[in-house]
Amino acid sequence: MKRLILFLAISLFCILPSHYASSITRCFIEPKSVKKALERSAAVFSGEVLAVKSGPYFLQARFRVERSWKGVEAEEVLVSTDGSAESPHYRVGEEYLVFAGRSNGGLFTGSCSRTKKLGHADADLQQLGEGKTPRKAE
């Protein structure tokens, strides 16, 4: 029975689309600490989702930025995901702490992003410190 389960697990991994397989592998090597996640991210900020646009293979959220620790100075920013089950699923009106990378010139949160709802981010926020408020558009 154990061999059958092992065989099925290996088979599933082998037939997964490559972006899912690479996401699974990447999760094991992603930084576990807030400090490492901050270093490796192109942008780290907290904000409220104002709008969500989805397509067959992506989801894009427009955020009102409340605090920024890295890479974001504007009041609003767009963040995309690959739309996989493991990626953040942003909802209008909810607030998030976002750890984003860069992809195709924009911000991107993938399946192993440290991104989470702001209500579940107290420990991360404490480690990040105060952050900065975004620059007001003139």
Give pLDDT tens digits for 74-117.
999 999 987 665 667 889 999 999 999 998 889 999 877 899 99
Give pLDDT tens digits for 27-36.
544 447 899 9
User: Residue 131 has which token pair?
Assistant: 């952050």
Rounded to two decimals, what is the model's pTM?
0.75
Q: Provide the pLDDT confidence category of residue 137 given band limits of 50, 70 and 90.
A: low
- In this predicted structure, the answer to whether residue 62 has a pLDDT above a threshold of 50 is yes
Cβ partners under 8 Å of residue 68, min gap 6: 43, 44, 45, 46, 131, 132, 133, 134
DSSP tag of 120: G
Provide the β-strand partners of residue 77.
Answer: 63
Q: Provide the pLDDT confidence category of residue 8 given band limits of 50, 70 and 90.
A: very low
**CB-count exposure of residue 83 (10 Å: 0-12, 13-18, 19+):** middle
